Amino acid sequence: MTVGLLGNKIGMTQIFDEFGNIVPVTILKVGPCIITQVKTENVDGYKSIQIGYMEVSNKLLNQPRLGHLQKSNIQALRYLKEFRVENENNFEVGQVLNVNLFSPGQFVNIKGKTIGKGFSGLQKRHNFTRGPMTHGSKNHRAPGSIGMGTTPGRVLPGKKMAGQLGNKITTIKKLKVIQLNLEENILVIKGSVPGKPGNLLSIIPS
């Protein structure tokens, strides 16, 4: 895995490319992220770096998290994430990682939590077809049969039924970087990314 960054979704808009075509884009506020720990093969058993994002007050962190950051003389950071690396010697504690890790035209994978839609029925959750709406039918959006009778006498695991929709971690792969702003740490991505505005995202080069 390569080193990525943490950021927040600002929202969506559209821009025009050099040919006059409309391109739907998502605006992201990415970083700056600070390296809070470098893990080595000898000490930890594997190679990785830990980055922190979003400076907050000390009062918002518990004592273990605060002590971990103060040990390296780093300010209180709300989010921590770890990335496996092949060579940890290229990084050091306290190093700042900015949006300049990316470049226009590059492809990235973006990981985040999708919008929660609550308890949803079969048509919305699994794209089931509804029943007939006329001729005395009373089966409009009902689930119908969910299993066999005496044998096996139970509902098999994994049956598609109504339930919680959304609110889970997902990854959108191969999203193209359209623009970036080094001064404001802004990243413009073609297409949509998980979650609503303000959602925490992990941006990793593909």
Whole-structure pTM value: 0.83
Range of the domain at 126: 117-133+148-165
Asked if 110 and 156 sit in the same domain, the reply is no
What is the 3-class SS of 115-127, one letter each residue? CCCCEECHHHHHC
Say yes or no: 85 and 181 in one domain. Answer: yes
The pLDDT of residue 94 = 87
| CA–centroid distance for 39 within its chain | 24
pLDDT of residue 31: 81
Residue 77, domain member (yes or no): yes
The reply to whether 142 falls in a domain is: no
Residue 178 forms part of a structural domain? yes
Q: Are residues 110 and 121 in the same domain?
A: no
How far apart (Å, rounded) are the C-alpha atoms in residues 24 and 12?
7
Statement to judge: residues 43 and 95 lie in one domain: yes
Q: Is residue 139 part of a domain?
A: no
CA 172 vs. chain centroid, Å, equals: 8
Q: What angle do CA 179, 92, 177 make, to 5 degrees?
A: 10
Residues 83 and 176 in one domain: yes
Note whether 191 and 152 are same-domain residues: no
* 3-state secondary structure at position 141: coil
The residue among 186, 173, 165 whose CA lies nearest residue 112 is 173
Residue 138 maps to a domain: no
CA atoms within 13 A on the CB side of 148: 5
Structure token pair of residue 51? 């980055």
Distance of CA 178 to the CA centre of its chain: 19
Residues 106 and 152 in one domain: no
**Tokens at residue 154, please?**
């139970």
pLDDT number for residue 89: 83
Same domain, residue pair 48 and 122: no
Q: What does the pLDDT read at residue 1?
A: 62
- Residue ranges for the chain with pLDDT beneath 70: 1
| Same domain assignment for residues 17 and 100 | yes
182: domain CATH number is 3.30.160.810
Domain count, the chain: 2
Between CA 91 and CA 38 the distance in angstroms is: 7
> Does residue 128 share a domain with residue 185?
no
Same domain, 190 and 156: no
| 24 and 80, same domain (yes or no) | yes
Is 192 within the bounds of a domain? yes
